[in-house]
Amino acid sequence: MKKLPIGLSDFKELIEENYYYFDKTKYIDEIIKDGAKVKLFTRPRRFGKTLNMSMLKYFFD
């Protein structure tokens, strides 16, 4: 049974430990195609900003 990732923001841990995850990997394609030098992620608290950055870190590493 999958667990809820309350308070977790490490993408690798979420995937390896079988947590629920709303797949945002398609977002990577948008970031690459945009071509901007700087990205500003403005979202409310607890909206996945750190998790998205972790996903990007693992993708580009």
13-50 pLDDT, tens digit each = 999 999 998 888 888 999 889 989 998 888 888 888 89
For residues 3 and 18, is the Cβ–Cβ distance under 8 A? yes
pLDDT recorded at residue 39: 86
Number of helices (H) and strands (E) in the chain: give both, helices first.
Answer: 3, 0
pLDDT recorded at residue 42: 87
Domain ranges of the chain: 11-60
For residues 31 and 38, is the Cβ–Cβ distance under 8 A? no
Q: What is the dihedral of CA 61, 39, 44, 49, to 10 degrees?
A: 0
